[in-house]
Structure 1
């Protein structure tokens, strides 16, 4: 008779217990590159260091992904952030342990603040030395915590497939910063697991129910003075947005990253919003009885009406109602929603008398603003008024160009004056770091080599990353860097003077930027007048190497300035 107790002590194994994980014979480094490539990533920005040498060696043995070396990790991370902003995908940056990651943090901060999907991969000290007092060691997960939605140390090669997939999904779908830290010798260890390509379900359109769309439209149709605030979310639905605005007779303002998405010469367009925007926008917002926010999150309190009636439409539900109250929110992809709303608007009955009156008011506010800008931008003399510089640049930069704008008083004058004819704008929107423009321009030229690329920076910001002009020269990138040179941190200096503070630390003793450009392998020009600037720009667009144009500028106080 069988021993029942013995039989019961033998526990059955799970059905698939003997199945082995897929094994493609890839090392950690090779697996990373295969996985990134399967997600359509074609560029990695980075700086060499002791803890990422084995990854760099793997990069050198493949052709699917280009490695773009920078001189500083901050600039490399800014370039990755700009790449993600430009393409709506994932920017990838690599660095070494300790100071490599710490130098990278500012660029990751830019991606974090603007919700640009960036994956940072940093080497770490040898596994047996983690947590010990050894060179270039820092607990990287704690270091990056304020900026990264996910950060993990790779403790075993077989964990890589799941960890890397998780990072890619978060960065791609949520515009998050993610981070993997990998002990330096683990890059050569073999991984068990399969490369998982980018799946179509990740970009499946988010559809809103007809009932909700109809209800939102009825609220818009009832408004007598509607206004649209458009952001980057309308990309892909630009024509339908114009149609909707025309049918509803709505004034239109745009956030700075969305400047290229609505025609500036359209009679309903009234400019930007905020300190760098137009007075016409703030005035009409105050008079409007319904503001419809389309794919935008910019809502500066000092330039927007309190208690306004607001409808907000966005694909990211967490964006809706951020910083203001709502009449109604609607979650959906604007590429799907704007054609539906435009069709409803075309079919709807109109209050022609109210619409005509509101259009006259829009025209009046727009004309007053245009007249004011004409006075500001017609100034002659040397050094040049920044308003005149921006008008001249608007006249000369081709419509298909990409413009990377740094942070400073020139950013405000740019948004206030620059009439966009389709040029794509890259900027450090919420982080507002100095030094953004040149690394962003390098990324843009790699991503869109056939398009003209212009970086606009102040003298206070450009010095933060100007050594990367050598990076551009070494990589044969024909981009233009315009330096607005007023020998000061102008915003800070003017605000200090306005409030009677000492101006200590606000003036600059700049190097000769023209000579510096030549030393870094570029071409340098100097412009002190409108005619000289135009001549320099014409020559720069024919150059086969990077060009720096040092423009002598005045530093008038920006309207509404205060501490």
Structure 2
């Protein structure tokens, strides 16, 4: 019998030189779908185009992934971003070359800014025409570079397994936008390589050492006037966070995306933070001797104190200390850390006198704030004050609903006045693009078909994506779109007036939104009074079609407005 080891050594070849890659007989398009299924992706949003027809054909031949067609790539990418925000996983969006990718950029910008994982796959012109003067060609890697953590052109089918897996890992772990461009005919070429499963270790909890947690807690326990700033990282640890706040006697503020993660009616709750937040939060932060930031990165300098002691806990170490100094940072999964902190808080020896004085101060500040909100949200008259609209909506929208909030002055009034009773929020947090709410609501309804979904948009923002109401109607999606109609880009108009600028470009000549909704296959209602708005919401939530409610609104100046 020949000595194989000696034979290979003589030829100076690696031991596995003759090993062949697995050949499952899959095309590029089929491989993409198989791997996405293995990673738990069950929805792809997109728009048809010449360069993705073969991928769409492959999608039509399988049942594990649902394709959700949109009318515009921007809206499709916004939906994928919203899907990722809801699921905590990876959103997927597809488009064509040239204008397809360029239209998609705004939606990818939302995912980039809010650090949620989105995988974009776009067709590219046929391989022999890449780099030449041909229709719809653009160098896609340069085009998407400011937004995508990774972007590559598939030059050979056998490179797909490694490239696609790399994209999914980066999007999943880093909350990154990743992108593959694929020459249009390559979708039909055969791939060699295994379809690897999602590996559970990728989301193995990051456990902080007990010694570190204890040291951080001792610093917390020394505070007389503690305050918590809660962000989205607390998701999954809400009960223990509430216990911790109560045991510490800490005031609580939330970022807007985390508004539903702490009971808004709780006596320790001060409200939001920033221009869209509450004055109570800013006042208590200024008086606090320790601010504990839990899973949040929002720190607007105009509304936050300087020089205060801060402790920040986050699963992403790069988030800690952004925009402010720290007494101490702690890296770890809050779902692991908060139960430990809550337990330590229960056992600690408390300074009841100091705790009582701080709780009394929180109550005083909160009561003053509540009285002010009561005055704002009970205003009568027509058109309706936006504060009154938000109160009516908070009392009309079910507690298990998902609410997609667009960008505009209505979002400020929403965070200020909406009493969240558990409704989960979707918003364009840092990108703050107009037109986010409706595509996000469509994605939410696909992800959670049994829950009510409401989109709230201003008249300036809704027109950016309102044609997607036809998408909702075509897909028989029952959602509610509330349009706050004040005939202006209100924030901009009010700021221009405050500073003596001409209000050019700020006033709107809106279409008849009710008739437009009907033309797009939905139902349209109009509300001029509080009673009409509540009645419209009741009917809309029972409809089996998408419903648009056009609410006549005034446009008061948001507090603290400036250019």
Which residue of structure 2 aligns with residue 133 of structure 1? 133
Q: Trace 1:293-308 onto structure 2 (pairs within 5 A).
A: 293-308=293-308
Deviation for aligned residue 1:23: 1.1
1:541 and 1:407 map into 2 onto residues whose CA distance is 23
- Local SS of the residue matching 1:506: coil
After superposition, the C-alpha distances for 1:152-188 in whole angstroms (9 at most, x for unaligned) are 0000000000000000000011100000000000000
Which residue of structure 1 aligns with residue 524 of structure 2? 524
Which residue of structure 1 aligns with residue 426 of structure 2? 426
After superposition, the C-alpha distances for 1:120-162 in whole angstroms (9 at most, x for unaligned) are 0000000010000000000000000000000000000000000
2:138 and 2:51 map into 1 onto residues whose CA distance is 13
Deviation for aligned residue 1:93: 0.3
1:96 and 1:177 map into 2 onto residues whose CA distance is 17
- Local SS of the residue matching 1:429: coil
Which residue of structure 2 aligns with residue 197 of structure 1? 197
The unaligned stretches of length 5 or more in structure 2 are 1-6
Which residue of structure 1 aligns with residue 221 of structure 2? 221
Deviation for aligned residue 1:542: 1.1
Deviation for aligned residue 1:203: 1.2
Which residue of structure 2 aligns with residue 462 of structure 1? 462
After superposition, the C-alpha distances for 1:467-495 in whole angstroms (9 at most, x for unaligned) are 00000000000000000000000000000
After superposition, the C-alpha distances for 1:74-97 in whole angstroms (9 at most, x for unaligned) are 000000000000110000000000
After superposition, the C-alpha distances for 1:219-277 in whole angstroms (9 at most, x for unaligned) are 00000000000001011110000000000000000001001110011110110000000
After superposition, the C-alpha distances for 1:194-223 in whole angstroms (9 at most, x for unaligned) are 111111101111000111000000000000
Which residue of structure 1 aligns with residue 260 of structure 2? 260
- TM-score, reference length from structure 1: 0.98
After superposition, the C-alpha distances for 1:413-447 in whole angstroms (9 at most, x for unaligned) are 00000010100000000000000000000000000
Question: Is the contact between residue 453 and residue 479 of structure 2 (CA under 8 Å) also seen in structure 1?
Answer: yes
Which residue of structure 2 aligns with residue 440 of structure 1? 440
1:158 and 1:8 map into 2 onto residues whose CA distance is 26
Deviation for aligned residue 1:65: 0.1
1:311 and 1:546 map into 2 onto residues whose CA distance is 45
1:271 aligns with 2:275: no
Which residue of structure 2 aligns with residue 206 of structure 1? 206
What do you get for the CA RMSD once the two structures are aligned? 1.0
1:155 aligns with 2:155: yes
Which residue of structure 1 aligns with residue 353 of structure 2? 353
Question: Is the contact between residue 8 and residue 14 of structure 2 (CA under 8 Å) also seen in structure 1?
Answer: no
1:235 and 1:541 map into 2 onto residues whose CA distance is 27
Question: Is the contact between residue 428 and residue 436 of structure 2 (CA under 8 Å) also seen in structure 1?
Answer: yes
1:487 aligns with 2:483: no
Deviation for aligned residue 1:308: 1.4
Question: Is the contact between residue 8 and residue 15 of structure 2 (CA under 8 Å) also seen in structure 1?
Answer: no
Which residue of structure 2 aligns with residue 124 of structure 1? 124
1:9 and 1:55 map into 2 onto residues whose CA distance is 45
Which residue of structure 2 aligns with residue 35 of structure 1? 35
1:553 and 1:329 map into 2 onto residues whose CA distance is 44
1:73 and 1:540 map into 2 onto residues whose CA distance is 28
Which residue of structure 1 aligns with residue 87 of structure 2? 87
Which residue of structure 2 aligns with residue 544 of structure 1? 544
1:132 and 1:47 map into 2 onto residues whose CA distance is 25
2:484 and 2:284 map into 1 onto residues whose CA distance is 32
2:278 and 2:542 map into 1 onto residues whose CA distance is 34
- Local SS of the residue matching 1:54: helix
Deviation for aligned residue 1:9: 12
The unaligned stretches of length 5 or more in structure 1 are 1-6
2:209 and 2:38 map into 1 onto residues whose CA distance is 33
2:207 and 2:544 map into 1 onto residues whose CA distance is 46
- Local SS of the residue matching 1:420: coil
2:95 and 2:441 map into 1 onto residues whose CA distance is 20
2:68 and 2:136 map into 1 onto residues whose CA distance is 23
Deviation for aligned residue 1:8: 13
Which residue of structure 1 aligns with residue 77 of structure 2? 77
Deviation for aligned residue 1:307: 1.1
Which residue of structure 2 aligns with residue 46 of structure 1? 46
Q: Trace 1:319-330 onto structure 2 (pairs within 5 A).
A: 319-330=319-330
Which residue of structure 1 aligns with residue 3 of structure 2? none
- Local SS of the residue matching 2:404: strand
2:312 and 2:8 map into 1 onto residues whose CA distance is 63
1:9 and 1:403 map into 2 onto residues whose CA distance is 66
Which residue of structure 2 aligns with residue 3 of structure 1? none
- Local SS of the residue matching 2:190: coil
Which residue of structure 2 aligns with residue 535 of structure 1? 535
Which residue of structure 2 aligns with residue 181 of structure 1? 181
1:541 and 1:292 map into 2 onto residues whose CA distance is 39
Deviation for aligned residue 1:11: 3.9
1:473 aligns with 2:470: no
1:378 and 1:542 map into 2 onto residues whose CA distance is 26
1:215 and 1:24 map into 2 onto residues whose CA distance is 54
1:11 and 1:40 map into 2 onto residues whose CA distance is 45
2:440 and 2:542 map into 1 onto residues whose CA distance is 21
Deviation for aligned residue 1:22: 1.0
1:196 and 1:318 map into 2 onto residues whose CA distance is 29
Task: Label 1:192 to 1:393 Cα distance change in 2 as closer, same or farther (>3 A).
Answer: same
1:449 and 1:510 map into 2 onto residues whose CA distance is 31
Which residue of structure 1 aligns with residue 25 of structure 2? 25
- Local SS of the residue matching 1:131: coil
Q: Trace 1:270-419 onto structure 2 (pairs within 5 A).
A: 270-419=270-419
Task: Label 1:9 to 1:158 Cα distance change in 2 as closer, same or farther (>3 A).
Answer: closer
Query: How many matched pairs?
Result: 557
2:343 and 2:331 map into 1 onto residues whose CA distance is 19
- TM-score, reference length from structure 2: 0.98
2:442 and 2:525 map into 1 onto residues whose CA distance is 20
- Local SS of the residue matching 1:419: coil
Which residue of structure 1 aligns with residue 507 of structure 2? 507
After superposition, the C-alpha distances for 1:320-374 in whole angstroms (9 at most, x for unaligned) are 0000000000000000000000001100000111000000000001000000000
